[in-house]
A = this chain, B = another copy of it.
Amino acid sequence: MTAAEFIGTDSPRPSRGACQVTVVGAGPAGVMLGAVLARFGIQVQIHDERPDQTTVGRADGLQPKTIETLQMLRLGNDLLDTGVKVFDICMWRSEKTSAGQPDLHRVGRQVHYPASAVDVLHPFILLCHQGMVEGMFVDDMRQSGVQVQRGSKFDTFSYIGTPGSPGPITASFIQSDGALATVQTEYLVGCDGARSRVRQGIPDTYAQGNPHDSYWGVLDGELETDFPDIWSKTVVYSEEHGSVLIIPRERNLTRFYIEVKQQAQSIDEAFVMDQARKVMAPYRLEWLSVEWLGNYRVTQRVAARFSDAKEDMTQSPRVFIAGDAAHTHSPKAAQGMNTSMHDAWNLAWKLNLAVRGLAKENILLGTYESERKKIAHDLIDFDYEHANSIANGDAQALAENFRTNIGFISGVGVEYEENILNRAAHGQVPSGGAQPGRNLPPAKVTRYIDDNPVDLQLDIPVLGQFRVLVLAPDVVGAASFLENLSNSVLMPSSLISKLSKAARTSYVAASRPTRPKDSYYRPERCIPLSDLFTFGLITSTDKSEFELASLPRLLSQSRWTVYLDNVPSLDTRGQTCTEKWVGVLDEKQVAIVNVRPDGYVGSIMKFNTAEETAGQTAAQHLDEYYGGFLQAS
């Protein structure tokens, strides 16, 4: 891939280790981090002590936002093809009749993700077990030329020089034959689970959170039953025997979650079956086969630090933890795998820019902890109430907890706080669904060049770059603004030009791998001008009113990312992309939405095209925003 506009001439940032990023643990967070970094062209190693990937059991649910994230990577089609989709939730309640017999009846059935409550492209939970997700990323890494190093158990790490000095980290691993291997690495990421050894090497990572522990039995098996709702997510509560959570699974399996109050009880297969039968009487439950029994204790906990950065951010972090290493909670709301993967997703692009010397390292990498620790706390706060209302059989409390948190549960409601990356519009309160620090709402538009209807939030491939999306309802009327914006941005003295030049130098020295499907996907179409920025246009002007060649160079060169805003949303509101994202713009207004490489909104700016120098002003605002956390040398 080439970005011909900016010819890099300076030397790229020198490497500080034999390996740029070393990942410990090949669970969902680890393999996702590895796969994304490998796509970005980063030298990454993944070590895992297990001899093979997860084959059965463990985590199983992908939430709407996670599916969408996979689709941003052009992954997940196989999972959508083979997984089970849960669209509804059923609640049942068993009460003792006067005759002493249990009366079990359905007390509610509702849509899991109603369109009126949450705006997602895939309004369902996708059930597919952890091993399928791991396998997908392992295969994806292979296509970038990276393989998981299995049978390699992380032991310890040490800084060469002092903590925070620019020297590499030495990480040591015990191989399956007992030999010790060491790796010199610029960054180390512990995705090594709840008992993380990487975490133990970071000072002050004591747990914060709820001291409440719970004990779980989880059983996957093929069922013969006359209970009607095993293909929905179903909560069954019995006054006498407690509650059971039922989740349909791929390959005709059904999962039962049973919570037990005391650790003393021995949670084996017979116990879970017996408990389920008691709760669900008088329905018949026979297991044709059992695939997996999980039996574990859950502590709701968030690590105090997600990295080795100093609190005052004067020192750039070098060691990170993600996923279960950083936070643990109950499995009931099907969040674990999702939150873990989004830790990796948040960290990957920041590490890429740091390794390439394009970031103000301490500032950008510092946002990993601040952004993800907030989400982990949001999660355990929600999870505590959620798990309690399931355990107590309080259908109303559960429904209310669910309603309040539906955005969060789906993943699209995740909100990062205002920081250097997430900045409110200049003097304006954003009036649409695109809000700094939040996911970009789904929107359909038509790609100008080939008239293909596309999901805009998914259309531009993930290459570690920012998206600078110009929303100009009247592209003809905004001609002068766009011309000035284009000239100012492309001027060699602009920060965007300088950053793009530095990025070109870096990607020439360490390019993204050419992957087998790239000849079909043509990712280079979306970075014709810069490795670091995709420029795009979204306009309500009719296709017949303008030609791509008539646009100023910033946009005419970006011909695969010019979109027509002519596909109203299918819901009752029928909003266009512009209306949905930034509210109604009048003809003289232009908005610029800066989208982070992870698809979260960075900043939103609005300009009045009637002002003569608005184009130049916009370019200055862009430089100012990106200058907050990026650097060209």
Query: CB within 8 Å of B: which residues of A?
Result: 74, 77, 81-88, 109, 111, 124, 226, 228, 231-232, 248, 250-252, 449-453, 517, 519-522, 543-544, 547-549, 570
Q: Which residue of B lies closest to A453 (CB)?
A: B87
Q: Which residue of B lies closest to A74 (CB)?
A: B81
Report which of B87, B226, B453 forms a contact with A450, defined as CB distance below 8 A.
Answer: B87
With a cutoff of 8 Å between Cβ atoms, the chain B residues found around residue A519 in the complex are 251-252
Q: Can you list 28 A-B pairs, Cβ within 8 angstroms, ordered by A? A: A74-B81, A77-B77, A81-B517, A82-B517, A82-B520, A82-B521, A84-B450, A85-B450, A85-B452, A86-B450, A87-B450, A87-B451, A87-B452, A88-B450, A88-B451, A109-B543, A109-B544, A111-B451, A124-B452, A226-B549, A228-B547, A231-B449, A231-B450, A232-B451, A248-B450, A251-B520, A252-B522, A570-B570
Shortest 6 CB-CB distances between A and B: which pairs?
Answer: A231-B450, A82-B520, A88-B451, A87-B451, A251-B519, A231-B449
With a cutoff of 8 Å between Cβ atoms, the chain B residues found around residue A109 in the complex are 543-544
Task: State in angstroms the CA–CA spacing of A81 and B461 once bound together.
Answer: 13
Q: Which residue of B lies closest to A111 (CB)?
A: B451
Report which of B77, B452, B520 forms a contact with A250, defined as CB distance below 8 A.
Answer: B520
Report if A232-B77 is in contact (Cβ < 8 Å); known contacts: A520-B82, A544-B109: no
Task: State in angstroms the CA–CA spacing of A304 and B521 once bound together.
Answer: 44
With a cutoff of 8 Å between Cβ atoms, the chain B residues found around residue A451 in the complex are 87-88, 111, 232
B228 touches A548 (CB 8 A): yes
Q: Which residue of B lies closest to A252 (CB)?
A: B522
Task: State in angstroms the CA–CA spacing of A232 and B547 once bound together.
Answer: 14
With a cutoff of 8 Å between Cβ atoms, the chain B residues found around residue A232 in the complex are 450-451
Task: State in angstroms the CA–CA spacing of A228 and B517 once bound together.
Answer: 26
With a cutoff of 8 Å between Cβ atoms, the chain B residues found around residue A450 in the complex are 84-88, 231-232, 248
Task: State in angstroms the CA–CA spacing of A251 and B209 once bound together.
Answer: 52
With a cutoff of 8 Å between Cβ atoms, the chain B residues found around residue A88 in the complex are 450-451
- Closest Cβ of chain B to A196, distance in Å, is 33
Q: Which residue of B lies closest to A226 (CB)?
A: B549
A228 touches B82 (CB 8 A): no
Task: State in angstroms the CA–CA spacing of A84 and B231 once bound together.
Answer: 37
- Closest Cβ of chain B to A155, distance in Å, is 39
- Closest Cβ of chain B to A266, distance in Å, is 32
- Closest Cβ of chain B to A512, distance in Å, is 17
- Closest Cβ of chain B to A78, distance in Å, is 8
With a cutoff of 8 Å between Cβ atoms, the chain B residues found around residue A226 in the complex are 549
Q: Which residue of B lies closest to A87 (CB)?
A: B451
- Closest Cβ of chain B to A86, distance in Å, is 8
Q: Which residue of B lies closest to A446 (CB)?
A: B87
Task: State in angstroms the CA–CA spacing of A521 and B549 once bound together.
Answer: 48
- Closest Cβ of chain B to A89, distance in Å, is 10
With a cutoff of 8 Å between Cβ atoms, the chain B residues found around residue A547 in the complex are 228
Contacts beyond the supplied A82-B521, A226-B549, A252-B522: 20 A-B pairs with Cβ under 8 Å: A74-B81, A77-B77, A77-B81, A81-B520, A82-B520, A83-B520, A85-B450, A87-B451, A87-B453, A88-B450, A88-B451, A111-B451, A228-B547, A228-B549, A231-B450, A232-B450, A232-B451, A248-B450, A251-B519, A251-B520
- Closest Cβ of chain B to A160, distance in Å, is 45
- Closest Cβ of chain B to A608, distance in Å, is 31
Task: State in angstroms the CA–CA spacing of A251 and B228 once bound together.
Answer: 49
With a cutoff of 8 Å between Cβ atoms, the chain B residues found around residue A251 in the complex are 519-520
- Closest Cβ of chain B to A52, distance in Å, is 19
With a cutoff of 8 Å between Cβ atoms, the chain B residues found around residue A452 in the complex are 85, 87, 124
With a cutoff of 8 Å between Cβ atoms, the chain B residues found around residue A543 in the complex are 109
Task: State in angstroms the CA–CA spacing of A115 and B433 once bound together.
Answer: 30
- Closest Cβ of chain B to A14, distance in Å, is 36
Task: State in angstroms the CA–CA spacing of A450 and B252 once bound together.
Answer: 12
Task: State in angstroms the CA–CA spacing of A513 and B572 once bound together.
Answer: 46
With a cutoff of 8 Å between Cβ atoms, the chain B residues found around residue A520 in the complex are 81-83, 250-251
Task: State in angstroms the CA–CA spacing of A88 and B548 once bound together.
Answer: 16
Task: State in angstroms the CA–CA spacing of A605 and B342 once bound together.
Answer: 53
With a cutoff of 8 Å between Cβ atoms, the chain B residues found around residue A549 in the complex are 226, 228
- Closest Cβ of chain B to A122, distance in Å, is 11
With a cutoff of 8 Å between Cβ atoms, the chain B residues found around residue A517 in the complex are 81-82
With a cutoff of 8 Å between Cβ atoms, the chain B residues found around residue A570 in the complex are 570
With a cutoff of 8 Å between Cβ atoms, the chain B residues found around residue A85 in the complex are 450, 452
Task: State in angstroms the CA–CA spacing of A570 and B83 once bound together.
Answer: 26
Q: Which residue of B lies closest to A231 (CB)?
A: B450
Task: State in angstroms the CA–CA spacing of A488 and B133 once bound together.
Answer: 48
- Closest Cβ of chain B to A448, distance in Å, is 9
Task: State in angstroms the CA–CA spacing of A77 and B77 once bound together.
Answer: 8
Q: Which residue of B lies closest to A543 (CB)?
A: B109
With a cutoff of 8 Å between Cβ atoms, the chain B residues found around residue A84 in the complex are 450
Task: State in angstroms the CA–CA spacing of A22 and B603 once bound together.
Answer: 64
- Closest Cβ of chain B to A119, distance in Å, is 17
Q: Which residue of B lies closest to A124 (CB)?
A: B452
With a cutoff of 8 Å between Cβ atoms, the chain B residues found around residue A521 in the complex are 82
Task: State in angstroms the CA–CA spacing of A616 and B279 once bound together.
Answer: 42
With a cutoff of 8 Å between Cβ atoms, the chain B residues found around residue A449 in the complex are 231
Q: Which residue of B lies closest to A80 (CB)?
A: B77
With a cutoff of 8 Å between Cβ atoms, the chain B residues found around residue A548 in the complex are 228
- Closest Cβ of chain B to A484, distance in Å, is 25
